[in-house]
Amino acid sequence: MLVDGRAVPDGSVVTADLCIIGSGAAGITIARELAGSTLDVVVLESGALELDTRTQNLYKGQFVGQPVSAELESTRMRYFGGTTNHWAGNCYPLDPADFESKPYVERSGWPFSYEDLEPYYLRAADTCQIGPFRFDWQFGVEKGAQAPPELESHTFRGIARQITEARFGEVYRSTLVDAANIRVLLWSNVVELLTAPDDARRVDAVQVATLAGPKFQVQATAFVLATGGIEVPRVLLASNSRIPKGIGNSHDLVGRCFADHPNVLMALALLRADAPYHTAKTVLVDSAGVPHPVGIAMWLRLRRRALRASQLLSAQISAIDPSVVQAIGITQREWPELFERSAQIDALLATSGAPTAEPRAFLVNMEQEPNLASRVRLARKKDALGMPTVHVDWRLTRDDRVRTFRTARLFAEQVARAGLGRARVVLSGYEAGSAIHTDEQIDNAALDFIVGSNMHHMGTARMHRSPRQGVVDEHCRVHDVKNLFIGGSAVFPTTGASPPTMTIVALATRLADHLRTKVLAA
């Protein structure tokens, strides 16, 4: 059932077994999993079924750390379906190594393994409407992509991301609307989580406000906050009328370890004209010539042994057309000039060992290490509902930059070893890159290359078994609160280099099972 929250009487109380705050990938997945059950479920959505400018502006805030070439409110969508309304559709799970603790990275590791999450990844593949649960390069070849790359080695492995066109707000609207046990309240903004007067470890209700004026509460047995990696800490920190530090923040961890997937144009390569290279996207067509909704994006990723041997973090690499450089947010310095500078191209061509060669640019998506100084904080400014806006202080560490450079250097070395041509390390306009060869030079270099954002907001309510190291436990329950759970990428303790949505859906599916069988079981 769809309900217009603006029509709910002012001061009234809505009751349910479960209240889900947010209708993005996580919120819709949980509601879909519980549709048709005996549980009374309320889903609260700030917006409606289409984009509304005034509602979208509730996301306004500031990036105050690492430069990001976008306004904060443009990086997420505040209406039914959430940011799946404009996502690129890339689906690829985290790698098994991404779940492991790394001795050279503080705060790394998940409280469970890839094998524990794999059954939920299989279900997430269905929810995301992709093909078989396969992401190996051969799968891409079978679907019509290019042949396996000669760059595949002990250092890199070819992967095939699957690309879906599923917009959750469209494909699952009828599932939620037609379910007798689900009410979706539109135009309904949660402005505070209210703990019980006699028990600060239990959320009793959420305060809901509408831009039209009416305010009401939703009381439930359990609550799931699934509003994204920026809005989750905003709501937790702003819920401070009874707990001054904010809910879940007894150890000052809410909002910390904010992470993105930094993207860096890392190398120029002159490849033999007949050499295979990675394409950003291959759109598939079936035998009848009808476009298929699933595409394939061909990438390279660092193997686990290379990560461990070089003390690196996850990275995924793809060829990219220089003409789309500005579209991914790297607009500073002279990248087009660097790429087209004929003297450099000629010099590379002379040593490529091939009579003809094609220049290619390569992009790397990196994992960044958990960093307490990288955080989401409340600002003094208030939005139209009286909630504090946020400052997003995204920060990279020196080690993040060193690892990016080492990854680029490994790639350049592999191009040469494979006999494909020559590559030059050019980290988004950092011209000194090609002159750095030794570890000592790397350690002493400025490494002030330009970093782009993938707008993947993660880590701000990180998962850990200990409340001193995480906001939520292994079941996504807030340590300090008995009946409050977090859905989405905010709980990622580390991020890998994979697009986050498929992992968000897998975790949400796992959480739905936990809520049904453990938390809300009759």
pLDDT tens-digit map of 165-183 = 899 999 999 999 999 999 9
Stretch among 122-131, 326-335, 363-372 having the lowest mean pLDDT: 326-335
Is the pLDDT at 453 greater than 50? The verdict is yes
Bridge partners, 192 (sequence order): 207
Average per-residue pLDDT for the chain: 88
CA distance 246 to 239: 5
Is the pLDDT at 332 greater than 50? The verdict is no
Strand 215-225 and strand 263-272: the pairing is unpaired
Is the pLDDT at 120 greater than 60? The verdict is yes
Strand 215-225 and strand 388-393: the pairing is unpaired
The domain locations on the chain are 2-519
Portion of the chain with pLDDT greater than 70, in percent: 84
Mean pLDDT of 228-248: 97
Confidence of residue 347 (pLDDT cuts 50, 70, 90): low
When computed from its CA atoms, the radius of gyration of the chain, rounded to whole angstroms, is 24
At 359 the pLDDT is 63
Stretch among 12-21, 134-143, 158-167, 266-275 having the lowest mean pLDDT: 266-275
More confidently predicted of 78 and 69:
78
Mean pLDDT of 313-318: 93
Is the pLDDT at 419 greater than 60? The verdict is yes
Query: Which range in 61-70, 147-156, 276-285, 313-322 is most confidently predicted, on average pLDDT?
Result: 61-70
Bridge partners, 259 (sequence order): 458
Query: Which tens digits make up the pLDDT trace of 21-64?
Result: 999 999 999 999 999 999 999 999 999 999 999 999 999 999 99
Confidence of residue 138 (pLDDT cuts 50, 70, 90): confident
More confidently predicted of 285 and 427:
427
Confidence of residue 272 (pLDDT cuts 50, 70, 90): low
Is the pLDDT at 423 greater than 90? The verdict is no
Is the pLDDT at 304 greater than 50? The verdict is yes
SS3 509: helix
CA distance 462 to 470: 5
Is the pLDDT at 375 greater than 60? The verdict is yes
More confidently predicted of 418 and 472:
472
Element containing residue 121 per DSSP (H, E)? helix 114-127
Mean pLDDT of 249-273: 87
Query: Which range in 149-158, 263-272, 498-507 is most confidently predicted, on average pLDDT?
Result: 498-507
More confidently predicted of 334 and 225:
225
How many residues would you count in the chain?
522
The CATH number of domain 2-519, selected from 3.50.50.60, 3.60.15.10, 3.30.950.10, 3.40.50.2000: 3.50.50.60
Greatest distance between any 2 Cα atoms in the chain? 79
At 287 the pLDDT is 44
CA distance 451 to 264: 5
Portion of the chain with pLDDT greater than 90, in percent: 68
Mean pLDDT of 108-136: 96
Stretch among 147-156, 189-198, 513-522 having the lowest mean pLDDT: 147-156
93-120 core/surface letters (b: 16 or more CB in 10 A; e: else): bbbebbbbebeebebbbbbeebeebeeb
Asked if 478 and 248 touch (Cβ cutoff 8 Å), the reply is yes
| Burial class of residue 147, CB neighbours in 10 A (0-12, 13-18, 19+) | exposed
Is the pLDDT at 199 greater than 80? The verdict is yes
Confidence of residue 270 (pLDDT cuts 50, 70, 90): low
At 216 the pLDDT is 98
Confidence of residue 425 (pLDDT cuts 50, 70, 90): confident
Mean pLDDT of 269-289: 54
Asked if 240 and 442 touch (Cβ cutoff 8 Å), the reply is no
Confidence of residue 150 (pLDDT cuts 50, 70, 90): low
Is the pLDDT at 343 greater than 50? The verdict is no
Stretch among 234-243, 336-345, 498-507 having the lowest mean pLDDT: 336-345
Is the pLDDT at 483 greater than 50? The verdict is yes
More confidently predicted of 357 and 68:
68
pTM for the full model? 0.93
Confidence of residue 158 (pLDDT cuts 50, 70, 90): confident
At 131 the pLDDT is 86
Is the pLDDT at 327 greater than 70? The verdict is no
Mean pLDDT of 137-158: 77
In the block, which residue shows the tokens 């309320």?
A: 42
Tell me the residue type at 296.
I
Strand 375-382 and strand 388-393: the pairing is antiparallel
Confidence of residue 340 (pLDDT cuts 50, 70, 90): very low
